[in-house]
Amino acid sequence: MPENTRREETKPAPCTRYETGFFFPAADSRHIEWPNADEQAALDVCATCPLVARRNCLEGELSYAVDKQFGVVGGATAAQRKAIIRGRKAAQLAGVAA
Ligand code: SF4
């Protein structure tokens, strides 16, 4: 692992500088492609998270059921994570590796 990547991985996640509510706006957008303004603000913070940490964060959240998805986590909105979960389930049922 390159030295600069290792250094990035030891930094606290960018979201730790914000109140938890920042990542859980009052309303989740239902649109996969059009996050609302609050979601976009949180997505912008996640975009500064190191890639490996963001991927791990997302995968951890995807282990929860569709009806447990709220807010912005792992660089994805609840609607985006629901779509990923449903896509993986559909692929699993079809016998396709996702
Ligand atoms: S990807 Fe996860 S750990 Fe990184 S800033 Fe977003 S919520 Fe925090």
Of residues 15 and 3, the one with the higher pLDDT is 15
Query: What pLDDT score does 8 carry?
Result: 60
Query: What pLDDT score does 96 carry?
Result: 74
Pocket test for ligand 1, best of 52, 58, 73, 80 (most atoms within 8 A of CB): 73
How many domains would you assign to the chain?
1
Q: What is the DSSP letter of 68?
A: G
Residues in a beta bridge with 76: 73
Q: Are 63 and 21 in contact (CB under 8 A)?
A: no
Tokens 């449903």 belong to 86
Ligand 1 atom showing the smallest separation from residue 74 Cα: 1
The answer to whether the pTM exceeds 0.85 is yes
Domain that holds residue 35: 3-94
* Ligand 1 pocket, residues with Cβ under 6 angstroms: 13-15, 45-46, 49, 53-54, 57, 73-75
Q: What's the gap in Å between 93 CA and the centre of ligand 1? A: 30
The predicted-structure confidence for 85-94, as pLDDT tens digits, reads as follows 999 999 999 9
Check whether 5 has a pLDDT greater than 80. no
Check whether 1 has a pLDDT greater than 60. no
Rounded distance between C-alpha atoms, residue 38 and residue 24, angstroms: 9
